[in-house]
A = this chain, B = another copy of it.
Amino acid sequence: MVTRKEDFSKWYIQTIQKADLMDYSPVRGCMIFKPNGFEIWEHIQEALNYRFKQEGIRNAYFPMLIPESFFNKEKDHIEGFSPELPWVTEAAGEPLEERLALRPTSETMFGDAYSKWINSYRDLPMEMNQWANVFRWEKRTMPFLRTSEFLWQEGHTAHATAEEAKTRTQRMLDIYAEVIEGVLAIPVFKGEKTPSERFAGAERTYSVEAMMQDTKAVQAGTSHYMGTKFAEAFDIKYLNSDNEHVHAFTTSWGVSTRLIGAMIMSHGDDQGLVMPPRVAPQQVVFIPVGPWQKNPAIMDKIYELNEELASKQIRTVIDGSDNRPGYKFNEWELRGAPLRVEIGPRDLENNKVIVKARDLDEKVDVEFANFAEYIENALDEMQNRLLESARERNSQHIYTDINTLEELENHIEAKKAANENPGWILAGWDGTEESEAKIKERTGFTTRNIPVEGTVDKKAECIVTGKPAKETVWLARAY
């Protein structure tokens, strides 16, 4: 197997296939989520559904097909999405009168429905989410990170005031950060996208961005404040307490199955996947060792210990196959199982097992009496360790002292020569699209987001023009 250092993209593709997370499909750009890959998504769904419910946001399901005329109602929206849309033009043997797009996102459908459902301020806020498949016909695809069909959740809300809508936009960004850090163990950088990177039709777009091991960025989640743009396009009005019909303020926000890709690129190593315990399909794998087949007491003990973990809702698997232990060790390391529990005749005699965490080298003897408690703690500790070690790694790849485009070009050259990754640059920016375009053209770096006020030191000058900086912005190469 290729190492991350040799070829990170190739390492990624090999790893996800060998770990049985996905397969390619006969349809260009569309992939199959195999059970080991899909279950990661199910755990992300649980974590988000729990938080959505706490916020009073319920799930709905809207039709996948969107009439062409709907897109044309919001000019920026159609311009942004039309290059990527697949179209249904015939059904049941007959051409359709109007083309129907496979949804790339559903602001238009929610907008049309909200305009019917919202009448007075009593109907507000109206807040719904849906879990759905969406389509964006991509030229270059990469499993999980960029595919023509993917799975996501999209929340859509309407509010009586701009304030309330802005609060919802921020709150969802915070929830994304909580889940991506707390469940996927990926540290994120919160901030606002520049105008050129905004969602098509939004007034403001916020994102959480994550740094992969090759220091490329992944936009891990976005939250959009629409102002009244979609309300105007779809006529979402309510009767306010002054008896006037006024436009509502809307938001939308989403994360997708690209989080699975981000998780793999954040934690994997040259032996394969490293799964954060909270999303691992198998959190603990039991492997009998030594002449266990001749000693049935070993498997009996494994069943007993397994039962202890099952009662704590810990997800386990017992590998009682005929393969050699060494083969099984490799296999489960490749699949990223957080904890491995070995037990052989000697261990049984000594009332203990051997536990190894996927991300550590040492093996630990654990007595039967403390087993379940030890495992429970060890899973929590590994979860925290993965987040901390990703944070630590990130901090080594952040550059705050690059002040001109030339310095950035030199930095990139030097890193390339040393076979190292270029990292992320915290830069001053004059706020113009021209400067942003120049950065991209000369370095391949793009603006990721403008960090939340107060979280980083302000830059004095624009990295391109040397003029006073309007904002401070993260620059990086991105997936």
A interface residue numbers (CB < 8 A to B): 23, 25-27, 30-35, 38-39, 41-42, 58-67, 70, 82-93, 100, 102, 109, 112-113, 116-117, 128, 132-133, 137, 139, 149, 151
Which residue of B42, B60, B67 is within 8 Å of A34 (Cβ)?
Answer: B60
Distance (whole angstroms) from the CB of A429 to the closest CB of chain B:
32
Identical chains in the assembly: 2
Which residue of chain B has its CB nearest to the CB of A63? B30
Interface contacts beyond A32-B62, A39-B58, A63-B149: sample of 7 additional A-B pairs, CB < 8 Å, sorted by A? A27-B63, A33-B62, A38-B61, A42-B59, A65-B86, A87-B88, A133-B133
A86→B91 contact, CB < 8 A = yes
Would you give 19 A-B contacts (Cβ < 8 Å), ordered by A?
A23-B116, A30-B63, A32-B62, A32-B109, A32-B113, A33-B60, A33-B61, A33-B62, A35-B128, A38-B60, A41-B61, A64-B149, A82-B93, A85-B92, A86-B88, A86-B92, A87-B89, A87-B90, A88-B88
Q: Counting chain B CB atoms within 10 Å of each CB, which of A25, A38, A92 scores highest? A: A92
Residues in B neighbouring A62, C-beta threshold 8 A: 25, 32-33
Alpha-carbon separation in the docked complex, A37 to B450 (Å): 40
Q: Give the Cβ gap from A201 to chain B, nearest Cβ, in Å.
A: 19
In the assembled complex, how far is the CB of residue A21 from the closest CB belonging to chain B, in whole angstroms?
11
In the complex, what distance in Å separates the CA atom of A58 from the CA atom of B20?
Answer: 13
Asked if A26 contacts B67 (CB within 8 A), the reply is yes
User: Given that A38-B61, A113-B32 are known contacts, is A137 also in contact with B27, CB under 8 Å in the complex?
Assistant: no
Question: In the complex, which residue of chain B has the Cβ closest to the Cβ of A86?
Answer: B91
> Chain B: which residue is nearest A109 at the CB level?
B25
Q: Would you give the shortest CB distance from A86 to chain B, in whole angstroms?
A: 4
Known: A38-B61, A59-B39. A90 touches B89 (CB 8 A): yes
Instruction: Kindly state the separation between the CA atoms of A58 and B58 in the bound complex, as whole angstroms.
Output: 26
Contacts A26-B70, A65-B27, A128-B35 given; indicate if A91 touches B137 (C-beta within 8 A). Answer: yes
Closest chain B residue, CB of each to CB of A96: B86
Contact (Cβ within 8 A) B88 A60: no
Closest to A110 in B: B32
Name the CB-closest residue of B to A70: B26
For the complex of A and B, 7 pairs with smallest distance between CB atoms: A35-B58, A30-B63, A86-B91, A33-B61, A92-B137, A91-B137, A25-B63
Q: Is the pair B27, A100 in contact by a Cβ cutoff of 8 Å?
A: yes
How distant is A102 from chain B, measured CB to nearest CB, in Å?
A: 7
Q: How far is the CA of A34 from the CA of B60 in the complex (A)?
A: 5
Q: CB-CB < 8 A to A31: which residues of B?
A: 63
Q: A113 CB to closest chain B CB, in angstroms?
A: 6
A64 touches B26 (CB 8 A): no
User: Which residues of B sit under 8 angstroms from A100, Cβ to Cβ?
Assistant: 27, 86
A59 to B131, CA, bound (A): 15
Residues on B with beta carbons closer than 8 Å to the beta carbon of A92: 83-86, 137, 139
Q: How many angstroms from the CA of A91 to the CA of B112 in the assembled complex?
A: 24
Given A65-B149, A88-B87, A32–B59 Cβ distance below 8 Å? no
Interface centre among A23, A62, A83 (most CB of B within 10 A): A62
Q: With A and B bound together, what is the CA distance between A241 and B67 in angstroms?
A: 54
Contacts of A34 in B (CB 8 A): 60
- For A88, what are the chain B residues with a Cβ–Cβ distance below 8 Å? 86-89, 102
CA distance A66 to B149 in the complex (A): 12
In the complex the two chains form, what is the Cα distance from A25 to B110 in whole Å?
Answer: 10
Decide if A30 touches B65 in the complex (CB within 8 Å).
Answer: yes
B residues near A63, Cβ cutoff 8 Å: 25, 27, 30-32, 149
Question: Could you say which of A30, A88, A113 has the most chain B C-beta atoms within 10 Å of its C-beta?
Answer: A88
Chain B residues with CB under 8 A of A102: 88
Chain B residues whose C-beta falls within 8 Å of the C-beta of A137 in the assembled complex: 91-92
A41→B112 CA distance, assembly (Å): 24
A31 to B109, CA, bound (A): 11
Q: How far is the CA of A109 from the CA of B23 in the complex (A)?
A: 12
